[in-house]
Amino acid sequence: MGWYDAKGNLVGTEPTFVPTKNPDEAWLDGTVYYARFLYKQYIIVFESNEADSGKLNDQKAPFDQVVTLTPNAGRVVRDGFKFMGWTKKQLSAFDTVDDMNAALTAQNLHLYLDQEEVINLVDGDNIMVTL
């Protein structure tokens, strides 16, 4: 974000701040500068996967902090199906929970439950993940 003086005035935007002065200015003892940072964030996109109705808004999540996935709360609906959760890869419909679990295991996928607490869902330096 930048570097600010004690009064909240922006004095620099460089990664490293070195105060300078012109010949007419004096250095004041006790002058303090503060760095302001923005959290590095990524975006969680909720893919409705052929739902008949409903959509969840994208969710911003800071890196290295636990966040709770936005609750579905019955918003994403597909007639004849029960919402089970989210994965990072689109899967087909399953007849049984055992079939779903077998597919998750075979594809090395995690089923993120509704309102699950997660951290760093993105891979590498990506800034977006789709569930």
In this prediction, residue 22 carries a pLDDT of: 65
d(CA 37, CA 17): 13
Question: What whole-number distance in Å separates Cα of residue 77 and Cα of residue 49?
Answer: 10
Rounded Cα gap, residues 6 and 26, in angstroms: 17
State the pTM of this model: 0.70
Listed in sequence order, the residues at least 6 apart from 16 whose beta carbon sits closer than 8 Å to its beta carbon are none
**What is the DSSP code (8-state) at residue 98?**
H
| Per-residue model confidence as pLDDT tens digits over 4-48 | 888 888 888 888 887 776 666 666 666 788 888 877 889 999 998
Q: Which residue has the tokens 């909240």?
A: 8
Which amino acid, one-letter code, is at 1? M
pLDDT tens digit sequence for 50-102: 888 888 999 999 888 999 999 998 889 999 888 889 999 988 888 899 999 99
| Rounded (to 5) percent helix, strand, coil in the chain | 10, 25, 70
List the end-to-end C-alpha distance of the chain, in Å, as a whole number.
30
